[in-house]
Each structure stands twice: as C-alpha cells, then as structure tokens.
Chains A and B, each alone.
Chain A
C-alpha cells in the first residue's frame, strides 16, 4: 500500500481540509481488506454537510464478513475541539458486507468491479476553533479505521480547518521494502523484521521546518514493533526504522503516529497494510528470506573451536604482496643489492636512452665506446626493457639517479625502483540481490569476472559475493612483467587468484664501435711504436729498423702496415730524426682513418615478447547473467511460496500446503483422518 499523499479540499466556509489518498497496486494479491482510496466523493456532497467515501479494495474475497470486520470510529485529536457527531446519511441497503456494528457506517454503493464503496460518513459542519500557539494553528479530527484481526490502524481520515500548518505525511516510501536479519542472541525466536520508511513532512506555506527531532514524538499502534529509531533527519524529511517480531508477519499491519510536541493535534498517521503482500513479492528487492530453523544438529553454529568465540573471517587481503606496508621486506633489498637496477622510464626517457645507444655524433660514440675498452659494451649491461600498459611511475616507489650501464654513465636521469612489486586496486563493486530470492544465486545467476592482461573471463560463485561486494587487486612484478589478480569479497576473503602477463619485452639495440676502435687504436699504437723505434735507428742502424718492422708484423699489422714499418725502418737510416718522426705521424693518422672506414657492429639485447595482453580491455569488469522470472499475478494465492517453516495452523492465512503434520486429537474416523491429511498436503485455503 502506498500513501500517496493528502488531497486538499475547500470546506463550506472556505476552509481547506485534507483527505489521505492511499492506493494499492492493482497487481496486489488480495488481502482480506485494504483501503485503496479515501476521498471525498462528489456523489455524496450535500449542501450543508460533508461526506466522506472510502473505497475498499476486495474486502474479503471469499468469506462472509465478520460483523466486526472493520470499525470506523471517530475521535477528535485535539482536546479543545468540540466532539464530533456523525449522523446516518444513507441506508444500509445494497451493502456488500453483511452487517456492521459501527453505527457510523451508514451506506454502501457499488463501485468499479472488485471495489466497494462502503463507508459514508457525514460530519456536522464547522465549529472548529483554531488554536493559536507557537506559530501553529491547527484543528484536526481523525477517524481511525481498524482491521478486525490485527486491531491495527489501517487508515485514517483527517479533517483540518484553515490554515493548515502541517499537511502531514505527503508520501511514504518503504526502502527497502522488507528485509530480515537474524539476531539469535537477543531474540529467542531468532528472527526480526526490519523496515525502513522515508516520511516526508511539509507545511502549507512550505516554509516551516522542524528545528530538531525533539519536536516530534512517535508512537506505534502495534505493540509488536519493538524498536523505532530515526536514522536521518533534515528538518522536513526523516527516515525511521522499525523492528518487529516475526509472528507479526502474519498480521503485519502497523501504523505509526507522528505528533508535534507543542501541539499533539498536529499529527499524521502512516499506516501499512499487510506483509508486503501489497506488491508482487517476486519483484526486485522485495524478497523476504526466512531461513528455516538451524538444522543438522552437529554443526558448531559458527563457534570457533580454538577460541570459543563466534567464527570470523580472516582478512587475508591485507597480506597481499605489494599491499602497502605489507610489502615483503626482502624485496627492496634485492632491488638495491647492486646486481641490477630497474629504471622507470616514460617514452621521453626511453627515446633519450635510444639516442645515447645510437649516438649520431661520432665523437660521442668514440668517447662512449672508449670506456668499453675497460668496462665492456654498454649493451651487454642491458638485461631487459619492459613495456607496460600503464604509467608505472604512478605506482612505484623510486629514487632518481642517472641511468648507469655497468660503469657507463649515460647522463640520463631516471627513477630507479626501490621495489619491484606494485599494487593496482581496481576498486570495489557493491552487489545486491536483484530478485531477493533463490534466483539470485547459482545455478540460476551466473557471474563472470573479466581480468585484463591475458587472464580473460573467470567464473565467480554468487554465494561468495552476494549480498556484498567484490574487489580486484592486481600485484605486478615489474622485473619480469607478470601479474597476479586477487579477487576479494566483502568479508576480506581472497576468493580467487589468477595470473597474467602485463609486461611486454622490447629488444634493445645499439651501435658498437668498440671492436673497430680497438683495431684502429692498436694499429695506431703499433705505428707510433714503430716510429719511435725508427727514430732511435739513427743510432741503432738498419738492424734496429728491421727489428721494428718485425714487431710491426708480429703485432698483427696489415700488409700495408708492415710495408709502412719497413719504410720507416729504411727512412730511419737515411733521414734526420725530426723529419722521420713527422712522417711517422702522418702515416699513423692515415692508418687510423683506414680503420674508421670499417662499419661498426649493431648489437641487440632481448626480443619482442607476446603483446596480446595489451590488446584486450584494460580493466576488470563483471558480467552478471540473471534469469528473467515469469510470475503470473496471484502466484502466491494459487501456488503459495516455498516455506519449510514450522507454524501453527491458526496463524496461517491464505493458500497453504502442509509438508508434514500429525493429526493428533481429531475425533474422526481413520478414513476421514487420511482424507484430511491428503487435503492439507494437497493445498487448502485458510
């Protein structure tokens, strides 16, 4: 049932008054009674009096109406107002119901199909003296409409004179409609039901706001409501929560009255009929789960045998590698051990590094490769270059320094990793039950989780994440490019882990002048040595020059170099020392140029690895496949819903199939007992 609000009308003297408008969904399984609309019917207006008509939706759909089915009793809600008198207005002919004890219930007329307009009231006119106090001017009268089996208020009519300072409840929202929770420790019956309702108050001028919750009092007409607390309040709207014991599900009508402290006449009543049978219980979010009594008898009922305390889940998610402060302590030490270094680069740094490796300036190349004579080729120091589909620097802990290839300082600054493990938290998705019934779980509902970087789709068991949440944290090992996706539920339990590869290896190439440089320098050195020796030959003679030539040859010089050496030796015996030395220098330079004309080697390190990981969707997501239910109207009335609950038959209403019952104390014949047993198990309507 939904209280749509209050309709505002003008009285004979121009005073406004309101009538609550309540409507029940047409698809509602019929309760024994329910108010669909309360309004002022035009057909019943007389010139000097006001009448009120109440539409009753399918008032008792099967049985005769007990005489006390519904009572309508007027009462004034403000003590200073004159008493209300109600006079008969119509006769009781054509009443759909058999009889009434309420003397104020005077007539019934046929209305639309399935609807009866039964209650016609007439009030005496006027005489409502406005009360003035603290800014509130109120006159109101209420008529309580009480159901026979619950003694609960199921509706009310208000009459208010001008000015209406509080138009009372404008709407009521049950959000969520009904849920249950299990509270075994404080409630022996094991179950309580909990409702949340949003109530919206407003004033006629739209200006009045309650200063605090203290201005409002609450009272419940249902003694089974064990708790009522306000959870939100903004001055005009508040949200409250009620709890009531499970047996009241059977007669779950309730009403809560709100009154303004300073003037109790400012009041409104929110009524709620039924056990949410006012909607299709298989509509989303309206399911009421009622687990059967704990069974088995051998379980530990959640008690940890080690501690004797209620068992709780360990939050193993905090122990993930790379998870904040829980990083393995050995990892930074390995990263800083001096055996290797990981540099985090962006594309600019990689380009600078490539420029350094492929130096286009010969002098730079020579200077770079000169160090290779002592420390080896720079490319030999490169272990790997990995490409990642995300900005590594945003996650990594680093230390800025120049990129060093062994002892070769590239002069390029980059961020050296202090830890090779990083953690990417993809966030959390909250998951709630859609249907609120068994269809939300396996095998009816299927949940698949897509994980990026080569992992793909993996199944998720709905039981492990419903109702609750699912979170994905990916730990990446940057040195090798592998990753591990950890799937965590709302209890902090890692319910699945899946490996992937997010890094792609890129080969590193470079020019290498070092080998040629060695040849060139060796030749030049040999020449210089030969020249020096030749200069000394002015003293030592041709024999010494011959020896120089021999050393040149022994040094591995080319044929031309050996010839040059011989020429040096010859000139050494014929020319002054200074001239000979100059020629030696010229020859050495010529030899060096000859060595430089030989092209350098191109070296490479590594190769391309599989790049398919970067071709898929780059973030995780869920695909939830749910069944689409097909529920005819009145399903519960014709089939009933699975129960498996032990109950007294006197508590039951509506369609019932008994699973098991012992027919003790029945004064019937055996055949009658057998027939009764079969009928009760086959389905009866209470």
Chain B
C-alpha cells in the first residue's frame, strides 16, 4: 500500500486541491480500518509528516483530509483522516448536469437575490417630460367663452 502525504493549500470546498510537498510512504495495513474515516499508524522518521494535512491512498482510490496526527512514540504516528469526496469523485460527478442555484459566472441577475444587501439611502431622480403646454403672454393662460347660439353648421349666425 502506498500513502502519499501532502500539504493542501486549498480550501476544503475546492474541487481541485493545490497539493505540495508530497511524502510517499509504502507499507502494509496491519489492523482493520475504515475506508471513509481511516486511522492509520505510520512508522516514519520524517518530520514533514506533522506539516501534512492531506493524503492519497492509491489502493483505496480516495483522497483524505487529515483531521488529526497523534505522535504515539518516536517515529510512530497515528493519522486520523476523512475522505475528501470532492477530490476523490470529481472525475465522475463533473460529467453530470444539474440545476445551478448560484454561480460566479453563469447567472441570471433578474432573479431576486436574497443575499444581496442594499443601503438605506435610496437614489431618487426626477425626470421631466420634454414638452410643455404652450403658453401665451398673460400668465400662460387661454380663455374659452361659450355662448348660446351664434353659429350654425354653415357658419356664424347673423341677425338678418
């Protein structure tokens, strides 16, 4: 069995982890262990183990977050780990499709965003319609005098 210890520089929710300083260790499993939450005893003199926070177990085809490292005695380390499902199964789930709820670059800004905050002050703008009612010289007023009679369908009435 080959275990490779790494220093993971990425956040846990990154699908692709940035892994540095690999420390390959070869050995044999002597005790039973959970595949998802393994506890492994490693006998090694490398001090780099204490800087490791991530590991790959090739034979189990899984990447793991190292959650705890216990120094049992000189040169013997007990490593507690939990499977990283993102890194482990990324080649499988990346082929899938689904409904995206939120996305950094693929979005619809017309959807109401409940995480979006607005300031208390608001922008208030006034837009006047471009035309004005035509005014005359006396306060812009006009008059309509309505009188009885005075006109027929052919024109103005007369007294004749």
Contacts and interface: CB of A to CB of B under 8 A. Distances in A.
Interface string A612-638: 000000111111111111110000110
Contacts of B159: 371, 375, 407-409
Interface hub of B13, B85, B159 (most chain A Cβ within 10 A): B85
A392 B144 contact: yes
A443 to B, nearest CB: 10
A146 interface: no
B149 interface: yes
Interface residues of B, number: 78
B147 A472 contact: no
B67 to A, nearest CB: 14
B128 A383 contact: no
A338 B157 CA distance: 8
Interface stretch (A126-134, A489-497, A554-562, A650-658): A650-658
A437 B118 CA distance: 13
B151 interface: yes
B143 A388 contact: yes
B101 A643 contact: yes
Interface string B103-141: 111111111110111110111111111111111111111
Interface in B77-105: 83, 85-86, 88-89, 92-105
Interface hub of B111, B122, B124 (most chain A Cβ within 10 A): B111
A382 B86 contact: no
B146 A479 contact: yes
Interface in B11-62: 11, 13-16, 18, 36
A620 B129 contact: yes
Interface hub of B13, B133, B139 (most chain A Cβ within 10 A): B133
A27 interface: no
A565 interface: no
B123 A626 contact: yes
Given A277-B105, A624-B124, A650-B94, A390 B156 contact: no
Interface stretch (A6-14, A137-145, A150-158, A398-406): A398-406
A341 interface: yes
Interface residues of A, number: 141
A655 B104 contact: yes
Given A336-B153, A388-B144, A663-B96, A657 B13 contact: no
Contacts of A29: 104
A187 interface: no
Given A347-B136, A429-B127, A683 B141 contact: no
B112 to A, nearest CB: 5
B143 A386 contact: yes
Given A63-B18, A649-B98, A676-B86, A337 B103 contact: no
A624 B127 contact: yes
Contacts of B10: 62-63
A652 B103 contact: yes
B107 A642 contact: yes
Contacts of A624: 123-127
B104 A626 contact: no
A672 B36 contact: yes
Contacts of B145: 342-343, 345, 350, 353, 382, 384-386, 403, 414
B1 interface: no
Contacts of B18: 62-64
A438 B142 contact: no
Nearest to B101: A659
B135 to A, nearest CB: 6
Contacts of B16: 62-63, 686
Contact of A401 (B97, B103, B126, B156): B156
A441 B151 CA distance: 54
B74 interface: no
B89 A684 contact: no
Given A642-B112, A649-B96, A681-B101, A350 B143 contact: yes
A649 B97 contact: yes
B99 A645 contact: yes
A123 interface: no
A643 B102 CA distance: 5
A637 B15 CA distance: 14
A381 interface: yes
Nearest to A621: B128
A346 to B, nearest CB: 6
B149 A339 contact: yes
Contacts of A645: 99-100, 103, 106-108
Contacts of A640: 101-104, 107
Nearest to A439: B118
Contact of A654 (B105, B110, B126, B136): B105
B72 to A, nearest CB: 28
A663 B136 CA distance: 77
B108 A291 contact: yes
Interface stretch (A221-229, A319-327, A420-428, A584-592): A420-428
Contact of A685 (B13, B89, B93, B98): B13
Nearest to B9: A62
27 contacts: A338-B149, A342-B146, A344-B144, A345-B143, A346-B138, A346-B142, A347-B143, A390-B140, A391-B140, A401-B156, A406-B150, A439-B118, A478-B144, A622-B129, A624-B125, A627-B118, A627-B122, A630-B118, A640-B101, A643-B106, A650-B94, A652-B105, A653-B105, A657-B100, A657-B103, A665-B96, A668-B89
Query: 5 tightest A-B contacts by CB?
Result: A661-B98, A654-B104, A640-B102, A641-B107, A392-B142
Interface of A: 29, 62-64, 249-250, 275, 277, 281-282, 287-292, 333, 336-347, 349-350, 353, 371, 375, 380-395, 399, 401-409, 414, 416-417, 424-429, 434, 436-439, 441, 444, 471-472, 478-479, 503, 506, 618-631, 636-637, 639-669, 671-672, 675-676, 679-686
Given A391-B133, A437-B109, 11 more contacts: A288-B109, A338-B157, A340-B149, A390-B134, A620-B128, A626-B123, A628-B118, A655-B103, A656-B100, A661-B99, A668-B85
